[in-house]
Structure 1
Amino acid sequence: MPSARRQKSTTVRASSIRAAFTLLERLAPPLGGRLALRIWCTPRHARPSSPAPSGTRHELSVAGSTVVAETWGTGPIVYLVHGWGGHRNQLARFVEPLVEAGYQVVSYDALSHGESGPGTLGPKRATLPEFSKALTAVAAHFGPAHAIVAHSMGASATALAVLDGLPTTRLAFIAPVADPLSQTHLFADHLGFGPRTHAAFLARLERVAGNPIEFFNIPPRATDQDLPPLLVLHDTRDTQVPHPNGEAITGAWPNATLITTTGLGHHRILSTPEVLTEVISFVTEPAPVQC
């Protein structure tokens, strides 16, 4: 639990940032947009969780940097994809049951996360397109996916990779982001910047991403596509990625199922036995017999 001094320091820092954005909104929105982009692309890294059972460590060259991956077991491959600010051990609870069920599990740290090297923006800074490209590169190295289990922004990156042609038989998304644009509005509310700074921020974000923000909106791109079956799990009390994100993806994605939980939030949902059981059951379910 954080000390009273640390809590006070965090509160003072947040107040100072909001005051700075209030001033920049009036006097220099382009500068505010630049500051907003820097904060947006700098993940707040989660504390290390309980380690997964010891696997085989790999280092892969991706986009001129290094991605650290870990593998367990043999058989059809299941990829585990962490979220923004996460690390490969966040989905560690899925490793043993999947290996016991006869699968090879591959997990990795995205660029600027965990043990992996920096992304194109430098150390500790990352982008959604890099998340997606890292998954594609890791899958190209280890082999086609039987299934991909992904959390939060990692689920969004996975969806984008699949929409761009990454093959897989099944997908399980936990607390996925449907539309990054909606997250930028939550981000603006949190930091206290207004529409002029938000517009400048979006313009910079689109330049860095190499596409308009609408390109990353998953539901419109998923509609009427031939896509693998999808299981979505989302909590009604998720304050970081609100539950309507999961509803939107499920509503647009063909052959998708939504399981709603209450009271687990954005991270505890990863460690709940019921969620683990649902995901493992879905991933290991036999494919339907084709007549």
Structure 2
Amino acid sequence: MNHIQLENISKIYNASHAQAKMALALLAEGMDSIAVKEQTGYSVGLYDINLAVKAGELHCIMGLSGSGKSTLIRHINRLIDPTSGKILVNTDINAKNSVNKIVSNSVVTNKDALPIEKGEPSSAINILALNDKELQHYRQQTVSMVFQHFGLVPHMTVIQNVAYGLRVRKMSIKERHEVARHWLNEVGLSNLERSYPDELSGGMQQRVGLARALAMDNPILLMDEAFSALDPLIRAQLQDQLLELQARLNKTIVFITHDIDEAIKVGQRISILNGGRLVQTGTPSDLRHNPTDEYVARFMGAKH
């Protein structure tokens, strides 16, 4: 079952509808993004992306700098809106059981949640059609994000940072901190809850960021170059930890990286972008043995 589906997604930056239409016409004729920029002055973020991410899949998006990786992932939580296309997300895949299990002797409910009627078929919504309140609900209940540069609040302690997003769940401080302690323990930081971000190493800060995202218990986790700022040893440790957590949590994870070794290690499937276009999607074995073009072959170290 698909959890996320991008249909014909294109993004032209800083262009009016007419200007974007002109740029898209040039792209449709086969002109690359660099030539379009030179001719029109408008930057191409993405062009005609069609991509399906399966429920429970760890899906890597990779490409060189400027290929559109970060632009793509930011469409899934609508930090960026496309010029054209649809973004469908199955919000029925939204079971939040772990928070209830973690908080002892209490039942955590979300009064703002949109219940699924019994017997109602699973369905995908076009998140581009959401109004402001619906978008806020979607971000609170469906999708979490781990950033490259941690994004921690410097004046908050570690446990306060991890518990921060749970305030929207109408949980007491005691309950929020109980959930936060659970996830700090899961990422190996149970003894640092009273520390502040600037007292931690980069690897520890990224673990706090991961714990904060997991504490929300949302079914979709977006990770934008989350480990790229770390040294190789710490990076490998966090990759291992992510895989171990994913084996138990079964989240739908979209993982952005420019490192092919990292993509092969963590990704069940990999999508490769080049100049804002999706070149190929497949398993690491698919891409290695059956590359679509020389660009993919170079990435995978394959030979024609």
Task: Give the number of the structure with larger relative contact order, counting CA–CA contacts within 8 Å between residues 6 or more apart.
Answer: 2
Give the alignment's TM-score, normalised by structure 1.
0.27
Give the alignment's TM-score, normalised by structure 2.
0.27
| Structure number with higher helix proportion | 1
